[in-house]
Chain A
């Protein structure tokens, strides 16, 4: 199929370039209710995304039109030709400033190591099931779970000679934990992804969520609070950095969404901890680790923000070209340097630590962040009480000049960085 596509594309005289992304995915999936298998699924699929390009000029300006189409492996040669001709026609009036495609740099193929490559995916299921349901606590505490084991093959080719491929694995585990003390039964939700089989990590994540559910089962309503220090721990701390990633992208700068400038502070006149972010394409055990981006660009470790100042814009070939920069590529893994305060030091005065939300969100465009609290720990200066309900909301501009990052770091799939971010003087909508 790939060769047929190449043959048709190279014979088309009405286009000036093309790009093929091939994906093959084989998977084994198991769905559990309590500790019993409710359903198993298998998947074996093959996809092609083809983009065609057309260069043209209008009023002395050069443009590159493009259109992407999905080619199913069951399409006949005539159907493929029709889909590609349709895309070629569309590309003639999709008007974007001209940019070059990535140039070829020799055929390359990378097989990313993973324990999961050692045997058939289904053969891992009994072993992983025993890790999930390791002891009486987990058998009692897990309400349901879903396990996805994926074996992936990617190939990227373009008309300029890019011809690369890589193979990887990824695992997704979603689980719900329950706990009941004297009040209502409560539940917690967790979705984890990784690229290698780390049984200890799975067991730790599950045990942590069961402990969170136990704590939540005895939580009181969150009080209304004014001027409290908030500690965002875990996923919400990771989410806060989305603002910096959005605004450090070449695309956002080109579209005037961002005013970040290289060499300038991204945190205003800050007196708290400075943000330092590095993009790490091959971050160990991240399901987003990959040697090449979707354009076919070879990726390398890149400093993005150092001590609060922007070092590079990230992004693919198109938007980097518009800003007259060498492309960094699209890298999905970030490493954030630890901050100056230990979590213990952050907890030396009254605080509200927020660990679990319904869905904590950072709007990368506006910098607004908010979420409904599912589990927090409130310390009023005397005792720590688990709390639930209520919400936090704010804007990055209101907090970034003095927030603190923990010295303790951890990894959440494609994020390696501080466990906790301390925000000062926040208001909480509670009861």
Chain B
């Protein structure tokens, strides 16, 4: 079923065009991004349930103008009835704020005027089951059934929490040259088992996400037992003895490494600020020949797959690392202008209220030719790492922090059944990537999380990869 464009944005389009056209008489560049995102989040747990609008729900606009020296933006979510007077107010706000900064003799960066090619294009995704086709009641009932099944498996369970979220993003981008529209739906879900034995509390989860509709819920139906088993196993887990080990990273952990280790490190606004070590390594080896990594809105089909980014640049597929050689970064439009490169369609905003930065979309390692059982068989003493809790980037100095749910012990080429939890993996990124010596075939994607830049600016991203065998420092 095809996803439709927001009626609101379609209705307001002539006004938005008038705003852009009128302001273009004063400013050399004007663009306007309109967003109308609707979504709902459903959750059930032992003590109750909830159903509310998704945190990603928003309706508003952001205007960007060239003030003769650099770019200024204005975020708003009301258009006054007297459109001419409203446009005049917008114009005056831009001029006044720029004059205050100018008269204070503050240093400013000088940008050229953004040159755009004329494009008129639209994209409307398709889903098997549109969220409107299934009632809220049915979705809550489905989640409740999964929860009840989960809770029935063990008396050690404090809770078995099930959630599902559906989000329909509609955006339009208008400038003097561009007229772009898109509407797409992503969904995500999670199942979390929380178990307790004496003083020890542990949780285990799995997540689900995609450029999909309510059909995603079907993927969640069969997993309750394995998730409960995972939590119970963690109750008997030990703490890891800190040290350096041979490790196999499951696809979710491989995705986290791709995201934290190199994704953030090649966001090219970091190149502009001289905050990225990657700039020194372009066309140089950063990993073994088994390492190939992509990012791009068109590189995969997941929660951050779109036609155009929040600056009106068409999304693409960027090969960041090719067989161990760092090839290029991912870019927003202003960073590309500064660096003299082409924007890659990675200019993303948390919402219409926030600035656009160079951000990841779907970031992943390509598959190889190895089998998981051979990878396990090749390890004398090490761990199979699974379950992502969080990660943190260090683009300047290429450190990496991955907080992981568990490590399954491998001794003499076999899983022993012993589990350590939690696990923190740290290290120097090229050391981790240079040590990659085996890579499995199938690539899996994970899109249920959100990515911050530093400690804010949350956006939807997906990441993934195959199983990879490398060496890492665990604590």
What is A's interface to B at a CB cutoff of 8 Å?
Answer: 28-31, 33, 35-47, 51, 66-70, 72-75, 86, 89-91, 93-97, 122-123, 125-126, 129, 143-144, 174, 176, 178, 184-187, 189, 191, 224, 254-257, 357-359, 361, 363, 365-368, 370-372, 374, 389-393, 395, 397, 427-430
Contacts and interface: CB of A to CB of B under 8 A. Distances in A.
B148 to A, nearest CB: 13
A349 B214 CA distance: 60
B77 A73 contact: yes
A393 B194 CA distance: 21
B242 A372 contact: no
Given A125-B104, A358-B401, A365-B194, A94 B158 contact: no
Looking at B424, B428, B456, the one whose CB has the most chain A CB atoms below 10 A away is B424
A429 B394 contact: no
Nearest to B72: A40
Contact of A125 (B96, B101, B403): B101
B48 A95 contact: yes
Nearest to B351: A45
29 contacts: A28-B97, A35-B107, A36-B108, A39-B71, A40-B97, A43-B76, A45-B76, A68-B52, A73-B78, A74-B12, A86-B136, A93-B140, A122-B97, A122-B100, A125-B100, A126-B104, A144-B275, A187-B275, A187-B397, A224-B242, A256-B196, A357-B401, A359-B401, A368-B422, A370-B403, A389-B426, A390-B426, A393-B239, A393-B422
B137 to A, nearest CB: 5
Interface string B32-55: 000000000000011111111100
Contacts of B73: 39-42
Nearest to A367: B201
Given A39-B71, A42-B73, A93-B140, A372 B353 contact: no
Contact of A90 (B77, B78, B136): B136
B475 A391 contact: yes
B243 A191 contact: no
A391 B426 contact: yes
Contact of B242 (A66, A363, A427): A427
B79 interface: yes
Interface in B283-322: none
B203 interface: yes
Looking at A42, A69, A174, the one whose CB has the most chain B CB atoms below 10 A away is A42
A45 B158 CA distance: 41
A41 B273 contact: no
A45 B35 CA distance: 14
B77 A37 contact: no
B273 A143 contact: yes
A358 B353 CA distance: 27
B424 A371 contact: yes
Interface string B269-283: 000111100000000
Nearest to B240: A393
A429 B58 CA distance: 44
Contacts of A176: 273, 275
B109 interface: yes
A91 B52 CA distance: 10
B378 interface: no
Given A37-B108, A68-B53, A74-B79, 9 more contacts: A46-B78, A95-B48, A126-B104, A129-B106, A178-B396, A366-B201, A389-B428, A390-B426, A391-B401
B242 A428 contact: yes
B49 A94 contact: yes
Contacts of B77: 45-47, 72-74
B98 interface: yes
B142 interface: no
A40 B71 CA distance: 7
B392 A67 contact: no
Contacts of A363: 389, 422
Contacts of B474: 429
A29 B357 CA distance: 15
Contacts of A144: 273, 275
B201 A257 contact: yes
A151 B52 CA distance: 27
Looking at B334, B355, B389, the one whose CB has the most chain A CB atoms below 10 A away is B355
B59 interface: yes
A358 B393 CA distance: 7
Contacts of B397: 184, 186-187
Contacts of B426: 358, 372, 389-391, 429
B75 interface: yes
Contacts of B79: 74
B74 interface: yes
B101 A126 contact: yes
B60 interface: yes
Contacts of A66: 50
Contact of B355 (A29, A94, A390): A29
B8 interface: yes
Contact of A185 (B159, B396, B399): B396
A113 B273 CA distance: 36
B75 A42 contact: yes
A374 B74 contact: no
Given A45-B77, A46-B77, A427-B242, A38 B72 contact: no
Given A255-B46, A391-B401, A67 B51 contact: yes
Nearest to A256: B158
Contacts of A395: 239
Contact of B390 (A44, A357, A359): A359
Nearest to A1: B78
A72 B353 CA distance: 14
Given A28-B97, A90-B136, A359-B401, A366 B202 contact: yes
A129 to B, nearest CB: 6
B197 interface: no
B70 interface: yes
A191 B50 CA distance: 33
Contact of A429 (B46, B201, B242, B275): B242
B45 to A, nearest CB: 7
Contacts of B74: 41-44
Contacts of B199: 397
B340 interface: no
Contacts of A41: 72-75, 355
A177 B140 CA distance: 48
A143 B275 contact: yes
